[in-house]
Structure 1
Amino acid sequence: MRAVQVTEFGGPEVLNLVDLPDPVPGPGQQLVEVDRIGVNYADTHQAENSYLAPSKLPLVPGGEIVGRTADGKRVVALLNGGGGYAERAVADEVTSFGVPDGVDDLTALSFIIQGTTASLLLRKSAHLEPGESVVVHAAAGGVGSIAVQLAKAWGAGRVIATASSDEKRALALELGADVAIDSRAENMTDALREANGGKRVDIVLDMTGGAVTDQSIAALAPFGRLAFYGMASRENPKPIEARNLLGHSTTVAGMWLPHAFKLPGNVFGRTLDELFELALAGRVRAIAGGEYALSDARAAHEALRSRGTMGKLLLDPTK
């Protein structure tokens, strides 16, 4: 089968199209004929071995696929340790989910990581309450574009989007944001307060890191919450001192999606089902960010790392 393989860690240049034997499912696993592959920012970290979970060489990157099992069932699946950038992949049955009729490949792949991340950030990490203000950084991206829609659907009082271009800010407004500001603002603290009518903000969803995180924390209102789920800038925020959290009763939370599978009551599966229902009802939609041939995986990673993309990027394993 055709697959993208990494034999040395690095940037997009280490992604090579090769021929590999078909993977063989073990107990509790199934072989999936892949229709589309989701591309995530985490894949770029996986390729350079800078992700939370260490990578091992040789590596076929990719953590999400949609396709069909041997018995014809259409599933969207999360893969443990990669293997998604290929024509066929092995998926654990416990992380494979049926896709309802009417939900297309783009939506299924947008929701299984980005959608569930946005939902859990708002509900589990930030504990959104009706009427609260919500800042969504990178609001035109995979998680951000869904988070804007969910925040509005769940009663946020004011949704403030940040994005780096006029086109991205226009998309955020189209999706329901009340105001969209430049993510390159010189002082994000001031920019967020101004966008919120001079008041501090209640919730910030942040995947940027560095100064953006520092200045976002400084913009939080009493009992404000910042939910941190990525570090696209590859820059660490300043260390947080406990005494500074006391100043405004601030909460700073981190979230890594795999931990959701350890929650009782099938929280992940129920979250995904709810998102599918919202999509079928026309209340939340996935944003297409571009489809690349499997042989063009390098270009997809270059686009992601440039932070110039919007919505969800896909790979087509037939090309």
Structure 2
Amino acid sequence: MRAVQVTEFGGPEVLRPVELPDPEPGEGQVLIEVDRAGINYADTHQAENSYLASAKLPLVPGGEVVGRTPGGRRVVALLNGGGYAEKAVADEATVFAVPDGVDDVTALSFVVQGATAWLLLRKSVRLEPGESVVVHAAAGGVGTIAVQLAKAWGAGRVIATASSPEKRALALELGADVAVDSKAPDMTAALREANNGRRVDVVLDMTGGSVTDQSIAALAPFGRLAFYGMASRQPPKPVEPAILLGHSFTIAGMWLPHAFSLPGNVYGKALAELFELAIAGKIAVVAGGEYGLSEVRAAHEALRSRSTVGKLVLNPRRLPGV
């Protein structure tokens, strides 16, 4: 089969299309003929071995696919790598049927990014009706869904940040009440201004660095910031417990795999609700572009430069330029 393989850690230049043997499913696993694979920002970290879970070489990146099982079932699945390929294997516990009326891009957008947005709002910050919500990187895969979920679940004011006028316009189209330039020199002041001079209740942050620092400074008493990524590759400053006590802030972290350790099939419930919202036309997934195996390097370059919007996908049968 054709696949993308990494044999040395690094940037987009280490992603190389190759021919590899077909994967063999083990006990409790499912073989999937891949129609499309998701391309996520986390994949750029995996390629350089800077992700939360350390990687081993050689590796085929890709943690999510949509396709068909040997029996013809259409499924979407989470993987422990191997998605950038014509075939992949997944544990049965992380394989989910795709309902009629849900297209490939929507299914892939929900299995990681949609579930992340759902968990951030439901579990990490426990959004309450009427609260203000800041969504950083609002034109990205998680951000576009988080904006819509926050509005659907009764947020009083949704404040989106994005790096270009086009991205900010997209966030407004998706339901944000106001959009802020993510390059604002004083993010604390910009967020308070966007919230009519008041401090904000909730921040969803995957940027890191000074954006996180200034977002924490913008929180209202009992405000919550959920940290789920570090796109800037710059860590925020440590937060002293006395700061949390003095301002009644809550800082949460969220890594999607931990959802599978929760009782009550929380991840499955999140995915089912997202599918229902999509079928009902209450959430629109933004397609960010489709790439072939030989074009994955360009996709990672675009992700790292933060020039993308919505959900990027890999079509392993797409020919260059088609």
Q: TM-score range by the shorter chain?
A: over 0.9
Residue 49, structure 1, aligned to residue 56, structure 2: no
Q: 2-side partners of 1:294 and 1:129: how far apart?
A: 43
Q: 2-side partners of 1:21 and 1:308: how far apart?
A: 34
Q: Which residue of 2 aligns with 1:160?
A: 159
Q: 1:206-247 deviations in whole A, cap 9, x for unaligned?
A: 000000000000000000000000000000000110001112
Q: 2-side partners of 1:104 and 1:243: how far apart?
A: 48
Q: 1-side partners of 2:53 and 2:3: how far apart?
A: 22
TM superposition shift of 1:30: 0.9
1:76-155 matches, within 5 Å, as 76-80=76-80, 82-155=81-154
1:1-319 matches, within 5 Å, as 1-80=1-80, 82-319=81-318
Q: 2-side partners of 1:123 and 1:31: how far apart?
A: 32
Q: 1:95-143 deviations in whole A, cap 9, x for unaligned?
A: 0000000000000000000000000000100010000000000000000
After the TM superposition, which parts of structure 1 deviate over 4 Å for at least 4 consecutive aligned residues? none
TM superposition shift of 1:285: 1.3
SS in 1 for 2:24: coil
TM superposition shift of 1:294: 1.5
Give the partner amino acid of 2:197: G
SS in 1 for 2:312: strand
TM superposition shift of 1:18: 0.3
Q: 2-side partners of 1:123 and 1:136: how far apart?
A: 14
Q: 2-side partners of 1:295 and 1:34: how far apart?
A: 16
TM norm structure 2: 0.98
Give the partner amino acid of 2:308: T
Q: 1-side partners of 2:105 and 2:18: how far apart?
A: 25
Q: 1:145-202 deviations in whole A, cap 9, x for unaligned?
A: 0000000000000000000000000000000000001000000000000000000000
SS in 2 for 1:84: coil
Q: 1-side partners of 2:92 and 2:166: how far apart?
A: 40
Give the partner amino acid of 2:58: P
SS in 1 for 2:17: strand
Report the count of equivalent residues. Answer: 318
SS in 2 for 1:313: strand
Q: 1:249-296 deviations in whole A, cap 9, x for unaligned?
A: 000000000000000011001100000000000001110001111111
Q: 2-side partners of 1:91 and 1:255: how far apart?
A: 23
Which 5+ residue runs of structure 2 have no aligned equivalent?
Answer: none
RMSD after superposition = 0.4
SS in 1 for 2:133: strand
Q: 1:74-100 deviations in whole A, cap 9, x for unaligned?
A: 0000002x1000000001110000000
SS in 1 for 2:192: helix
Give the partner amino acid of 1:160: I
Q: 1-side partners of 2:152 and 2:298: how far apart?
A: 34
SS in 1 for 2:114: helix
